[in-house]
Structure 1
Amino acid sequence: MRARATGRARAAAPAPKGRRLVPSPVFVLSSVRSGSTLLRVLLNSHPKIRAPHEMHLRTLEVRQTKPYTEKAMKQLGLDGAELEHLLWDRVLHRELVHSGKELIVDKTPGNALIWERLREAWPDARYLFLLRHPASMVSSLMNGRPDRDPAATAAEVKRYVDAVDEARRALPGLTVRYEDLTARPADTTREICAFLGVEWDASMLEYGKQEHGPFQAYIGDWSDNIKSGSVQQARELPRPDAVPDSLREVTRRWGYAC
């Protein structure tokens, strides 16, 4: 009563964390060129799972363009980060409702670089860690691009694999290998479904018979392999002497020979 009478503003209560429209989304944490689009379309073929193209949440930002806007939001207990989390959550919810499914999976490789913010935004999120031989990811980026600098390409991959490695040590989740996904897609997708708490569905292996949206640059893989509509066998693993020096340690840590 005294605060109202004198016109003094009461301190805002902290913003509630974790109360999301989508309380437990699934995030694939992976490097670029790790086979995440293949994993996406296999999951999206499940009748209960929506796995859209890359969502790029980390580049979806909220700007408070006036000082009084920030002041107003502060009174609501909302800072810039939480405002963005609310926006991210609303985007995922909209896509999930539109699909009519039960679970949503975001496979954007850039998510590996913001795993701490994802954990903050969604305390109950679930994670799939998708691994691939690091030298295979480098060669995939280099393929058909003679203008690419090998050292810079290896550094780009290392940035992602280091982030995935750090997330694996900090977060609970299921680790999936691209090589296993291509060699044994039925067994691997069964394991993923068990982790996600849904019954495995054979239609997952026939992703080419279903609609997944366009295969375009910057929102996923657009290669002929993914457009084929069927799981393609992974290339042979690189020879140990083909592994860049900067990636040798993480390659060994991930269980690949180098």
Structure 2
Amino acid sequence: MAAIGKGLRRRGRLMAEAVRPPRRVLDAVPSPWSPGSPDERSYVAPRAPRLVDSPVFVLSSVRSGSTLLRVLLNSHSQIRAPHEMHLRTVHVHLSRDFTADAMQALELDKDELEHALWDRLLHLELTRSGKRIIVDKTPPNTLVWPRLHRCWPNARYIVLLRHPGAVITSLTNRRSDPDHEAIAAEVLDYSEKLEEARQNLDAHVITYEQLTADPETTTRGLCDHLGVPWESGMLDYGTQDHGTFRPQLGDWSDTIRSGRVQPARGADPAVELPPRLAELARAWGYAAG
């Protein structure tokens, strides 16, 4: 009887294998929620709870003094402002056709998975620091501020402005073979998004020129905005450890390495701003031709 039972079980397995499609055929069958399908594209996941409910983002153009602002804030006992985190370049890859289906069953989509990862990174850095508030000052965040606002509806913002002509001059001096037309277009892209953020967000707006001319008054206003007491040690940032100053993580010039707030360099009067940049400069309170 045992031998008969064993034979029947073996026969059953063979029959099951005969009707089961080969693995490559199974993998070739498209999932109804495969990435890129109309159903998958139309699904928008609800926002998951955040570990960091109210992070702070500095919105600025490149070459606008955001590294100086970072180290001043990071010198506060309750504020962690790490190097540029580049969250917008941290992505989630759904590698199989059925992955989007599995995530939707968990009320997640690709964007919300990325948001959860970004939030975890901020939380990890904040926890390691032992501080209470985290600030990310990555300038390209400015270009995607609506997505940051969607991820963190309770986020707080600092808009850091600098005369567009001075930004153009700084970028031109920094690059070995500057393409003047491309630089002007880059500064305009940042400036348009900054103006958009300034008009639509409840942001604390400062200028690089104010920050360098009167750092105490400017940082006092920032502390009021963030709900922390001002600390005089913020101005002596050179005595604190702010990590390595190197390319892609912020400014690495001798000016920032000096450990002292130094006067801002103005715009080159020989640089003529394109009409739209001149219009934005005037809207921000700068003189422009």
TM (norm. structure 2) is: 0.82
Any residues of structure 2 matched to 1:28-177 within 5 Å, and which? 28-177=58-207
Amino acid paired to 1:31:
S
The alignment of Structure 1 onto Structure 2 pairs a total of residues equal to 245
Contact map agreement 1:130 1:177 (CA 8 A) in 2 = yes
Any residues of structure 2 matched to 1:214-233 within 5 Å, and which? 214-233=244-263
Q: State which of 48, 57, 60 in structure 2 corresponds to 1:27.
A: 57
Of 36-45 and 162-171, the range deviating more from structure 2: 162-171
Contact map agreement 1:18 1:122 (CA 8 A) in 2 = no
Q: Which residue number in structure 2 is paired with residue 250 of structure 1? A: 280
Q: Deviations over 1:135-194 (max 9, x none)?
A: 101110111434111111111111111111111111111001000000000000000000
Q: What is the CA distance between 1:116 and its match in structure 2? A: 0.6
State percent identity of aligned pairs: 57
Aligned mates of 2:58, 2:264 — CA distance in 1: 19
Q: Deviations over 1:200-224 (max 9, x none)?
A: 0001000000000000111100010
Contact map agreement 2:48 2:112 (CA 8 A) in 1 = no
Unpaired runs of 5+ residues, structure 2, are: 1-43
Q: Which residue number in structure 2 is paired with residue 3 of structure 1? A: none
Unpaired runs of 5+ residues, structure 1, are: 1-13
Contact map agreement 1:134 1:157 (CA 8 A) in 2 = yes
Aligned mates of 2:129, 2:176 — CA distance in 1: 40
Q: Deviations over 1:112-141 (max 9, x none)?
A: 111111011000000000000001011101
Contact map agreement 2:169 2:268 (CA 8 A) in 1 = no
Larger radius of gyration: 2
Amino acid paired to 1:211:
D
Q: What is the CA distance between 1:244 and its match in structure 2? A: 1.9
TM (norm. structure 1) is: 0.92
Contact map agreement 1:18 1:124 (CA 8 A) in 2 = no
Aligned mates of 1:236, 1:144 — CA distance in 2: 15
Amino acid paired to 2:273:
P
Contact map agreement 1:215 1:222 (CA 8 A) in 2 = yes
Residue 168 and residue 92 in structure 1: after superposition, are their counterparts in 2 closer, same or farther (change >3 A)? same
Contact map agreement 1:22 1:92 (CA 8 A) in 2 = yes
Contact map agreement 1:18 1:123 (CA 8 A) in 2 = no
Q: What is the CA distance between 1:64 and its match in structure 2? A: 0.3
Aligned mates of 2:138, 2:74 — CA distance in 1: 14
Q: State which of 5, 25, 47 in structure 2 corresponds to 1:17.
A: 47
RCO (CA 8 Å, sep 6+): is it higher in 1 or 2?
1
- 3-state SS of the aligned residue for 1:95? helix
Amino acid paired to 2:105:
Q
Contact map agreement 1:208 1:230 (CA 8 A) in 2 = yes
Q: Which residue number in structure 1 is paired with residue 243 of structure 2? A: 213
Moved over 6 A (4+): none
* RMSD between aligned residues: 1.4
Amino acid paired to 1:257:
A
Aligned mates of 2:209, 2:271 — CA distance in 1: 18
Q: What is the CA distance between 1:236 and its match in structure 2? A: 3.2
Aligned mates of 2:159, 2:231 — CA distance in 1: 21
Q: Deviations over 1:217-249 (max 9, x none)?
A: 11100010000001011123443x523215211
- 3-state SS of the aligned residue for 2:98? helix
Q: Which residue number in structure 2 is paired with residue 6 of structure 1? A: none
Residue 62 and residue 144 in structure 1: after superposition, are their counterparts in 2 closer, same or farther (change >3 A)? closer
